[in-house]
Amino acid sequence: MEQRQLGDSGLYTSALGFGTWEMSTTMYGHIDVKEASDAVSAAIDHGVTLFDTAEVYGPYHSEELLGKALGNKRKDIVLVSKVGFEYDDDGKNLGRNSKYDHVISRAEGCLERLGTDFLDLLLIHWPDHDTPFEEPIRALEKLKNDGKIRHYGVSNFTPAMMDECEGYGHMAANQVGYHMFDRRMESAVLPYCKDNNIGFMAYGTLGFGLLSGAFTPETTFGEGDWRSSGMAFRLPLFQEEEFSKELKVVEKLKIIAQDNGKSVAQMAIAWTLGHPAVSVGLVGVRNERELKENVAAVDWKLSEATRKEIDAVFAEEGVTTHVDTDQAI
């Protein structure tokens, strides 16, 4: 599989990353844990080297499951996790916390749950608006100097926030949502990352399921599925009216994909990976069938004509891509 460098970090990973939010077992509806765990091993066999998790996924479940699933293959992969929240004894999320001591202690927990001595990359999951950015960056530098992490970065940070962080230490990556239905990052974040040699990790590559091709007008999201709120990082992607229009877009996108001998999910992956600033596209995987479909998309380089054809579909259906909408922070 194609390998890409995260910014100028010297850390190379597969262009396609294995996202494990779905493995949290608590926020994406039902998932067969064994199938998802088996897919981890299969992913490595198919050339996927980057595995992304976070303590908040569950919380803790995703890290624990991933650590067990990796087994003795830990040495073969790039392992990424994220910290920056606080929890009570029952695992309830109490909000963001990126204070120095908290980042240090939460990182230790990540290592323990994942069964590893170090992380290849540790990210601050969301900006903590009550803590100066100097604190988490100083903590990340400490972890790096102690050999607990190889590289560090952030997630969901704006260019101004990244610029401030860069004053305290150079980041390897910023991980932010980016897919056909959400192009907010094109206005500022992607250009900033490219100009400043910071890797861009795109999450939500399949639009949180919208671009999987599996949804129909009858699709609903049950209790415990975060999409049931109708909102996706402050965009109304799953509200009834928007959802209906988006499904019409997807049906037309399927035709374009089929004309190229691919699925709409594969086209969505190729679309995201085709942006010159994107280092890695993260995709959640529930089983080996989905894995094989995703992996087959990596070598597809969309032509400019195909990208324009995709944009035309959005225009025809009157569906916005939110390129001028403010980033969720």
3-state secondary structure 189-258: HHHHHHHCCCEEEEECCCHHHHHHCCCCCCCCCCCCCHHHHCCECCECCCCHHHHHHHHHHHHHHHHHHH
For 286-329, give the DSSP string: SSHHHHHHHHTTTT----HHHHHHHHHHHHHHT----TTSPPP-
Determine the Cα angle at 324 with ends 314 and 307, to 5°: 35
- From the number of C-beta atoms within 10 Å of its C-beta (0-12, 13-18, 19+), residue 276 rates as exposed
Cα 285 to Cα 73, 163, 187, distances in angstroms:
18, 33, 29
- Residue 70 in contact with residue 77, Cβ under 8 Å? yes
Positions marked catalytic: 57
